[in-house]
Amino acid sequence: MKKLTILLIIMTLVVSSVILIVNHQTNQGLLNNSNTNHMNSNSSISNIVNQNKKPSKNLTKQVEKTKDKQITSKSSDQAKKSKNIVITIDPGHQMYANIEQEPVAPGSLETKYKATVGSRGIVTRKPEYAITLEASKMLQKKLKKKGYQVFLTRKSNDVDLSNRDRAEIANKHKSALFIRVHADGAENSNAKGFSIIAPSKNNPNTKNVFENSQKASKKIVQQVGKEFPLYQNGLSYRADLSGFNWSKVPVILLELGYVTNPAEDRNLSNKKYLDKLTTSIAKGVGNYLHENQK
C-alpha cells in the first residue's frame, strides 16, 4: 500500500514536470515569434511608428499570425515606405524672367539672375519653360503611381520663382530627391541626347548631398540610356548652379534633350515621346529610391 502511494506521487511529479516543460517550450516559441516580428518591424521607421500606435498584442494573437500574413504585411509595409518618400520636381524656368539678383549660394557674394525663360525649340519655337512643365507633370504622375509623394514647385508658366525659392521648396518638403527638369541648347545643332547634371564633388555647399545625388544620377542615366540616346556619357557635374547650392536635399538636373537639334526638338514636343521618356526616368528614380531605402 505504501509502495503504491509513493509510485503514485512519483508518477504525478513526472506528469506535471512534462506539462511544465511543454508549456515552457510553447511560450519560448511564442516569444521567438514575437521577436522576429519585432525585428522585421524595426527595419523601417514608419513601422516603428505604426507599432507604437498599435495597442500591445497578447501572445495568443501573435501566434495566430501565419507566414502568409507576414508576407502580406511586408508588401503593404513597402507601400507605406514609398508613401513616406517625398520627391520634389522643379519644371525649369518660367514665362517671364526675373533679372533681380540672388546669391548663387548661402553666404556667397557672387550673384545670378533669379529666374530666366530658358531656351526655345529651333524648329517648333516651343519655349523651354513649357516643355519642362509638361514633362514634369508627366513625371509626377508616374512617380505618384509608384507610391511616392510628389510635389511640383510650379503648376503654371506664369509664376515668379527664383532658383533659390525652388530649392527651398524641396528643402521644406524634406525631399528624398529634388529633380530639376530642363532641356539643353548648344551652338552645334548636331548635339543631342539625354543627360543629367549633378553637384560637383568638391563643392562645400553640396557636400552632404553629393553622394546620393550622384547615385541617383547614375541610376537614372543607366535606365534611360537603355532606350534613349545619351549626350556623351550622360553625366556631368557643376558647382555654379544656385538651384544646387541652396538645396539641402539630394538634387539632380535632367537635361531632357537638345532643343537646338531639329529632330530632338520635335521629339520633345511629341506627347508620346515625352511619355516614354518620363516613364524611363521614373523607372530610374524608382531604382535609386528602392535601393537607397534598404
Binding region for Zn ion (CB under 5 A): 92, 118, 182
Spatial CB neighbours of 120, under 8 Å, sequence gap ≥ 6: 126, 127, 128, 259
Length of the chain equals 294
| CB-based contact 92:132 (threshold 8 Å) | yes
Which helix or strand (DSSP H or E) is residue 152 part of?
strand 149-152
Nearest approach, Cβ of residue 128 and Zn ion (Å)? 5
Instruction: Report, in Å, the least distance between residue 113 CB and Zn ion.
Output: 12
Which of 117/230 has CB closer to Zn ion?
A: 117
**Least separation, in Å, of the C-beta of 272 and Zn ion?**
23
Nearest-approach distance from CB 58 to Zn ion, in angstroms: 60
Nearer to Zn ion, 47 or 136 (CB): 136
Q: Which is nearer to Zn ion, 115 or 249 (CB)?
A: 115
In the block, which residue shows the cell 545619351? 230
| Cross-strand pairs, 255 | 182, 195
User: What's the grid cell of residue 237?
Assistant: 557635374
CB atoms within 10 A of CB 219: 21
Q: Which is nearer to Zn ion, 85 or 183 (CB)?
A: 183
**Nearest residue (CB) to Zn ion, 274 versus 289:** 274
Residues 230/222, Cβ–Cβ less than 8 Å: no
- The C-alpha torsion from 217 through 222 and 228 to 232, rounded to 10°, is 70
Nearer to Zn ion, 112 or 182 (CB): 182
Taking the complex as a whole, how short is the minimal distance between the CB of residue 93 and Zn ion, in angstroms?
A: 6
Residue 45 CB, shortest distance to Zn ion, in Å, is: 36
Phi, psi for 99 (deg, rounded to 5): -90, 15
Residue among 279, 292, 294, 291 nearest 146 (CA): 279
Helix-then-strand count for the chain, H and E? 10, 8
Nearer of residues 257 and 286 to Zn ion, judged by Cβ: 257
Cβ at position 118, least distance to Zn ion in Å: 4
How far apart are alpha carbons 234 and 254 in whole angstroms?
Answer: 10
